[in-house]
Chain A
Amino acid sequence: MTTPSPTPPSPQPPRATKPMPRAADPAADDARELALVQAIRSGDQNAWTELLRRYQDRLYTICYRMVHHRELAADLTQDAMVKIIQHLDTYDGRSKLSTWIIRITMNVCLSRLRAERLRRHASLDERSGSDGSSENSRPKGDAAHSRPSGGILEPEEAESVELRDDRARLTRALDRISPEQRAILILRDGRGLDYDQIADVLGVPGGTVKSRLFRARAALRDAMENDPR
């Protein structure tokens, strides 16, 4: 708390601008998804692909933010989708479908990262370096980033944005904190979940979420300030 931040102070972000709006009317969006679940359970053959299509970008983004590797993120997304399909009959509707789906996806990512924790040093070196599979070196025509408003960018447009130094520092710092801290930041800031939803996804009490979130933010700041560039 003694080191001045190299980042200029930014204005207080309004909570009203939660990211990733998927539809103009979230309630209608949720209703449509519940209808898809009912359709799936009643044997509608088109419902599966529609549901997966609605979520594939979100789930892939979560996985990519967690592992920062395109191929691995795609594998994890597929694994998560398979689990979602296979376990959809266990969805009881007590939480939002999106929360339930994100929980499965995040569990897949955390399981993989925990399994690979022993090899993490090499992965960090690779990711913080010039990893050809990383976001910053993504070739044109591949997956693109979204603009600040949350919309999906085209490759050329995304590349100019991706090359910004601040974003590169941020991704490197995210890689440097623990997967659990990264997860809570992605859920909170990346997906805009509230504390209860985060608690549901991570399976921890609501009070624990706040303390973990504060520590995760502090850890990220430390990583940003200690970024070797």
Chain B
Amino acid sequence: MTHSPSNLPPDEATLLDYIEGDLTPEAARRVELSLKPAELARMRAIRGDAAEIRNLGDLRAPAGLLAGVADALERDMLLGVREDGELLSDSLPISRIETRVRRRSFVGARRLALAAGFVLLVGGAAFVGYSMLKPPVSSMTHSEERPLALNSGPSVSNPVDQPGATGDLALAEQGDNPAAIESSSRGTPSSGTPVAQAPPTPLTLDEAVALLEQGRLVIRVRCAAPEPIVDFLAKVDERSADIRLSDQVPVELAAAVLEAAPSRGGHDESPAPFVFAGDEPPPGQIDIEWEIPGFTPVAFDPRIVLLEMNADNRTLAAAVRRLTQQTGHEVVLEAVEGALALPPARPSAETLLWWTRPAYEWTPRAVVPVVIEPLR
């Protein structure tokens, strides 16, 4: 109980003793006399603060506190570590927590398991939904829902068969719009050929892909000369991983393809009537000024090349679009009635390692004959 003489200011320890009440009444009186009034008031206020803190008292702990402790202990027990990262000793008395507390912890664990299950359910549903709804990532996606135009027989949408059609220019314009790609289910009669006899019906891109997988699809490219088409397909073969030129066409296959589709282009048919500028386009036809002075369709023997491609909408639409845009000629998708004896697609790294990719990214490869035939 040290304190200063009354004529000297008390030191810090004495002041603390005064505040804490550790001084005798006489010593406390001496301290009070040695302090200035403001200092004395402050000391008394500090004593009041201490009393206020003492009066705060205890709080009641929230319910479930011990259950939370039991949960944490169980978790650490399962992990085998303490909260400070040290390994738990074998003598951790987790089993010594009374049964009631353990039951509470079980309820907590069950809630946690339910929450985890719900998260897994939502996550799984989101993944499945994403997988199913993932678009083929192509500008052609919208065309899948729209039936493609007919081109069999006189039709306003067939620029070749229709008087006043704008022919290849019309297709070149349509090349930017995949929905305008023309396809057909041809019913052209030919003896001994498995050509579909049903009336022409619109082929959707989905149907064309299905036919591609079945080996019943033929792509017809009508042009003035076959070499640019072949050269272009060779370039596609070099640059594209999805579309490749296949090996040489077997003679039997070529014959079957040519028989399946009627021969056209100056052999036994008269050239298609081309209409030049000044003629009235048919209703619904794109009114584009069309003038090719001295244009004369050149007849040549049809050629057949085999294209290997992924049997999906994106690749088929891209192939047709490229043929249309690059060559400016008419491209027709045609269905044949019977499956053609097409060679299998050549194996590639992509096809061999299909299992390494997500299911939605993998599509089977298919072969489709491309008939390059002269304009009519």
B38 and A64 contacting across the interface, CB-CB below 8 Å:
no
CB–CB B65/A4 < 8 A:
no
Q: Main secondary structure on chain A at its contact with chain B? A: helix
CB proximity of B60 to chain A, nearest CB, Å: 4
Chain B residues lying within 8 Å of A150, measured Cβ to Cβ, are 57-58
Q: Complex Cα distance A170/B49, Å?
A: 8
Chain A residues whose C-beta falls within 8 Å of the C-beta of B58 in the assembled complex: 20, 57-58, 61, 146, 150, 152
B61-82 interface bits toward A, Cβ cutoff 8 Å, 1 = contact, 0 = none: 1100110110011001000001
Contacts of B60 in A (CB 8 A): 57, 60, 143-144, 152
Interface of chain B, helix or strand or loop or mixed?
helix
Stretch at the interface among A10-18, A93-101, A118-126: A10-18
Q: How many residues of B contact A (CB 8 A)?
A: 56
- Contacts A52-B66, A210-B16 given; does A85 touch B73 at CB 8 Å: yes
A224 to B53 alpha-carbon distance, docked (Å) = 13
Of B92-100, B122-130, B197-205, B265-273, which binds chain A? B92-100
Output the least CB separation between B234 and chain A (Å): 66
Are B72 and A218 neighbours in the complex by a CB distance under 8 Å?
no
- Which 4 residue pairs across A and B have the least CB separation, nearest first? A146-B57, A5-B45, A9-B44, A189-B53
Given contacts A48-B97, A221-B45, A224-B49, 12 further A-B contacts (CB under 8 A): A9-B44, A9-B48, A19-B54, A20-B58, A49-B66, A58-B58, A60-B65, A79-B72, A143-B62, A150-B58, A188-B50, A189-B54
27 A–B pairs (Cβ distance < 8 Å), ordered by A: A3-B38, A4-B38, A5-B44, A10-B47, A19-B54, A19-B55, A20-B58, A43-B96, A49-B66, A49-B97, A57-B59, A60-B62, A61-B58, A70-B62, A74-B61, A78-B65, A79-B72, A82-B72, A85-B69, A144-B59, A145-B57, A148-B54, A148-B55, A150-B58, A152-B60, A170-B49, A210-B16
